[in-house]
Chains A and B, each alone.
Chain A
Amino acid sequence: MNAVLLARLQFAFTISVHIIFPAFTIGLSAFIATLLIVWQRTGREHFHRLARFWTKVFAVSFAMGVVSGIPMSYEFGANWSRFSEVAGNVVGPMIGYEVLTAFFLEATFLGVLLFGWARTPPWLQATAAVLIAVGTAMSAFWILSANSWMQTPAGHVMRDGIAYPVDWFAIIFNPSFPYRLAHMLTAAYLTTSLVVLAVGARYLLVGAFKEEARTMMRMGVGMLAVLGPVQLLLGDQHGLNTLEYQPAKIAAMEAHWRDTGPMDLVLFALPDEKAKVNRAAIAIPHLGSLILTHDWNGHVPALADFAADAQPRVTIIFFAFRIMVGIGLFLIALGLTGAVLWRRGQLFTSRWYLRAAGWAWPLGFIAILAGWITTENGRQPYVIYGILHTRDATSPIAAATVGASLAAFVLVYGVVFSIGVYYIRKMLRHGPHGAAVATSSLPDALPNQPLASARESARESRAEPPVI
């Protein structure tokens, strides 16, 4: 294998592992902030217990996000030094602003949120949580701006093969950025909502932590029912934007080889990259045109309309896109079904729904990964669309060295992050401390965990009347 492919694999691997954690913590920090604010306003203890419980999960996830994120800021130079030189003037400042406006805020106030329970007043805890939530969203703002500039570059001039900034506003708010930001933030909030819903559903299935579980389910279903449909609209708008600025990507997403009239919507196919046709295709006539041009007979540029060295490979993009959309549609159904059950007062008793929701927790992560695989592969063969080919962007590093570091990353991440996910699972199964209905039916309970304060709150909460 050559050094370019190895460098691509390394970046794909490290960023795919990394994105899982920010995708989770963006939503989780907002969730915790909401819980703490509600607790402050209502004084109902189970919101506080939930906040502290999820804060522990947050801490473990955030730590994994941090340690998998630091390598990213060095990988640009280590494996992609030519990219760094070409794009450094433009992309660099955006990443710089990410560090300045987001990373320090998150990292510093995480200390207050995690360790300040005994030393700081409750309002400061809530403030720290809000600041962390803002920080995670700011981080998304800048990194998505940088990524979007690589997809739809604007506001710069090229001199001697190097990009120079001309208009910072045009660079930051480049054409695909608002859509990508909205799409990704919504995806992150959806992903976390789904995890919260799933955990709540699982507790109810075993009859544990009922008060907390109901709150989690209500919040999860509410978010899903609202944000799911919103995400569909955002995705549609994002697609139209891509059609305008990166039509080759759309053609690959739809396995649209030749423009022969109104476009079908291909539901399933086995794209044949050699013959440039779809095998075993199931397609709905005209629907592709309708979705992408909002016109029954609209024309959509096909792959054949692009030069051979400006076409992305189809198969990965085609399937990744379908996985993302399929999951998205399922989540909308899950959210709306939950809303109907909630209205009928059956949300907490419909065991079939609790089971489905309980198993759905990884879907958000899979959809996010599939979406990023779609958009990043769709930009190929460019690393900066239309400006720099990926094959010209790497460092003068031997393939053996890149391969060895890739192997080391796979090994270390494989071990460390699987254990981390196992620990999170263990914490979730253990459940919130001092819950009103503590249970011994859950396995993996940690004998040494409860702190004195948790025991106290358990005693207090038993005296409270059950909510609902």
Chain B
Amino acid sequence: MTALTGAAYWLPLICAVVLGFAVAMYIVLDGFDLGIGILFPFFAREVDRDQMMNSVAPFWDGNETWLILGGTGLFVTFPHAYAVVMPALYVPLITMLLALVFRGVAFEFRWVAKPHHAKWDIAFSAGSIVAALCQGFMLGGLIGGTRVEQGHFAGGPFDWLTPFSLLCGLGLVVGYALLGATWLVMKTAGTLERRARRSAHVLLIGVLGFIVLVSIWTPLEFASIGARWFSWPNMLYLSPVPLATAFFAVACWRGLAGSRLMFSPFYSAVALFVLAYIGLVISVMPYLVPPSITLWDAAAAPSSQRFVLIGMVILVPFILGYTVFVYYTFRGKVRADEGYH
């Protein structure tokens, strides 16, 4: 890599941080409402499902907008990476988008269709599961490496399909389910809350299992990731990540068991996600498209990055502000029959 200085160095880095923030927001926010869909098969009673749906209905649309910001953000700030990644992940990407169609419309259609809404329960649930699976596939495919020749994607349509990406897919389904279950613990009451608590315990064990598996698998399969984590003094500097993960795992477990902590199990689960995400970023930095395209290789023209960053600096605080406002408006436990239908 040639030495970069000034704006040519900093602009792409700042853009990457902002983009990384948008993706993290998406994973956490849409994660819990996808999780509700993943949990649907385990909560068969209609009243429970109504409440589960109502607990996320005011938010899902805003949550999913972070996905659009992630996609367009990559397009805007790193068009070259966007132009390589999207063709490389074509199959899981299109499948995910179609799955999101089913689950997105289910939020409205389910109510209009009542009492003939069984098909939209299935659409909501299957759409959520498939979308989460595909996101995991894309993550695994991206880490697994993309074949690039002369700046273009040069692989086949199923290059992303590896045992590792399958693991990531399953891991993300279980992870989102944990976010969803802890969300229900926070937002509902009575039997639904109790059942969500029980599911969350099981899911937490599953999530920790996947975290351990991925943490062992990636350094073994990808030498660069092994070197990043297990060389001295990196090991020391990076040790807070696994330590904090252990802390929040315990906090989440104890919170679910009912001990009074300062924060609910949902926030512990979010922290686990954020930590896993940070671990991932540490593993692949500075590559946007491992193993060949760095964030500096893929950067848009400085003028374009600057123009968008100005907008983000001004607008993202507003967006966060009214997002907080909406979550505050609909705070607390969901009341029965709160839907507008």
Contact = CB atoms under 8 A, between A and B. Distances in A.
B104 interface: yes
Interface string A114-155: 111111100000000000000000000000000000000000
Contact of B311 (A76, A96, A115, A118): A96
A66 interface: yes
Given A92-B300, A100-B311, A397-B90, A73 B59 contact: no
Nearest to B335: A118
Nearest to A424: B112
B102 A412 contact: yes
Contacts of A120: 329
B101 A397 contact: no
A340 interface: no
Contacts of A77: 71, 74-75, 82-83, 85-87
Given A92-B72, A416-B105, A78 B65 contact: no
Given A63-B107, A97-B311, A70 B326 contact: no
A172 to B, nearest CB: 10
Given A70-B67, A107-B62, A117 B340 contact: yes
B339 to A, nearest CB: 7
A118 B83 contact: no
Contacts of B62: 104, 107-108, 111
Contacts of B65: 99, 103-104, 107-108
Given A63-B104, A99-B69, A427-B112, A93 B326 contact: no
Most buried by A among B87, B113, B157: B87
B322 A420 contact: no
B208 interface: no
Interface stretch (A83-91, A227-235, A249-257): A83-91
A81 B83 contact: yes
B102 A416 contact: yes
Interface stretch (A194-202, A357-365, A379-387, A401-409): A401-409
Interface residues of B, number: 69
A171 to B, nearest CB: 9
B97 interface: yes
Contact of B101 (A92, A413, A426, A446): A413
Most buried by B among A66, A76, A82: A66
A105 B87 CA distance: 30
Contact of A165 (B58, B108, B157, B303): B303
Contacts of B323: 104, 108
A396 interface: yes
Contacts of B75: 73, 76-77, 84, 88, 92, 95-96
Given A104-B319, A107-B62, A413-B101, A74 B93 contact: yes
Contacts of B205: none
Interface in B295-336: 300-301, 303-304, 307-308, 311-312, 315-316, 319, 322-323, 326, 329-330
Interface string B141-160: 00000000000111001000
Contacts of B97: 70-71, 74
Q: Interface residues of A: mostly helix, strand, loop or mixed?
A: helix
Given A63-B108, A73-B72, A77-B86, A398 B311 contact: no
Nearest to A82: B83
Interface string A47-90: 00000000110011011101111110110111001101100111
B87 A396 contact: yes
Contact of B154 (A56, A69, A90, A396): A396
Interface in B40-97: 57-59, 61-62, 64-65, 67-69, 71-77, 79-80, 82-87, 90-91, 93-95, 97
A263 B151 CA distance: 49
A434 B182 CA distance: 39
B303 A74 contact: no
Contacts of A215: none
A82 B219 CA distance: 34
The contact size tier of chain A is 35 or more
A398 B155 CA distance: 11
A103 B68 contact: yes
A371 B30 CA distance: 36
A88 B329 contact: no
A110 to B, nearest CB: 6
A122 to B, nearest CB: 14
A112 interface: yes
A101 B69 CA distance: 11
B282 interface: no
Contact of B326 (A78, A81, A111): A111
A330 interface: no
Given A92-B79, A92-B300, A100 B69 contact: yes
Contact of A115 (B72, B95, B113, B338): B338
8 closest pairs, A vs B, by CB?
A88-B79, A77-B86, A111-B58, A92-B76, A81-B83, A67-B104, A107-B61, A96-B76
11 contacts: A71-B101, A77-B74, A89-B300, A92-B304, A96-B75, A96-B311, A103-B65, A165-B303, A396-B87, A408-B94, A426-B112
Interface of B: 57-59, 61-62, 64-65, 67-69, 71-77, 79-80, 82-87, 90-91, 93-95, 97-98, 100-102, 104-105, 107-109, 112-115, 152-154, 157, 300-301, 303-304, 307-308, 311-312, 315-316, 319, 322-323, 326, 329-330, 337-341
Given A59-B340, A88-B304, A401-B157, 17 more contacts: A63-B108, A67-B101, A68-B101, A81-B84, A84-B86, A89-B303, A112-B329, A114-B58, A115-B339, A165-B307, A401-B91, A409-B98, A412-B98, A412-B101, A412-B102, A419-B109, A420-B105
